[in-house]
Amino acid sequence: DPCRNFHCKRGKVCHGDKQGKPRCICQDPAACPSTKDYEHVCGTDNKTYDGTCQLFGTKCQLEGTKMGRQLHLDYMGSCKYIPHCTDYEVDQFPLRMRDWLKNILMQYYERDLDSSGFLTEKQRSKVKKIYQNDKRLVAGDHAVELLLHDFEKNYHMYVYPVHWQFHQLDQHPVDRLLTHSELAPLRASLVPMEHCITRFFQECDGDQDKLIALKEWCHCFGIKE
């Protein structure tokens, strides 16, 4: 099979030509496997797709057109009304996001106590210092004022979680820059719950080059240089 170890980008599938050489062709959206309701996704064209296979297959077929360039995965789930994000809400967003990232790392650390594998040894040693700090704000639905006070008082606890999330996303390639597709796994899963995340990331891109550098990312979360 010429396609056995041949990789195609999302939206394309491998096909052997007449000479038996592998090449990538657009995925036929109609040939995508059927999906459950919870696997539906919403595109930036505000259309619901039966899954990422159908969305990226459609994007591939539109390659070279304005519609194709503009079509991306917006968020997980069927398209729904997403409320407008106000200036006040986007200002509060990093407070909740920092706390959420810190709490994710706490959960990973606790799970690693039972069965390791969520964090590397180096990550575990960094998270352990936060986990064992008796001043740590435990997970909960906290008021904005408390989150702001805790960030100012225990700033050092939030630095690593913010850096950790950046490096988790910076994978294709690892270049200290986040592209739209690298942000997608985080953004797409959070939009239905955190309607300010799209505006937040747009405003994070200070120089408007469609890339978020580590420095821009940290600045957005209030992390000093």
38-65: average pLDDT: 94
Beta carbons within 10 angstroms of residue 45's beta carbon = 16
pLDDT tens column, 148-187: 999 999 999 999 999 999 999 999 889 999 998 899 889 8
| pLDDT tens, residue by residue, 199-224 | 999 999 999 999 999 999 999 999 99
pLDDT at 114: 79
**Angstrom distance (rounded) from CA 223 to CA 167:** 15
Answer yes or no: CATH 1.10.238.10 is held by domain 87-221.
Answer: yes
Distance CA 8, CA 24 (A): 6
Whether pLDDT at 116 is above 80:
no
* Dihedral sign computed on CA atoms, order 70, 72, 75, 77: positive
pLDDT for the residue 152: 96
Percent of the chain at pLDDT > 90 equals 77
Average of pLDDT values for 56-79? 93
CATH of 12-76, one of 3.40.50.2300, 3.20.20.70, 3.10.450.50, 3.30.60.30: 3.30.60.30
Rounded distance, CA 31 to CA 36, Å?
16
Residue 96 burial by Cβ neighbours in a 10 Å radius (0-12, 13-18, 19+):
middle
The ranges assigned to domains in the chain are: 12-76, 87-221
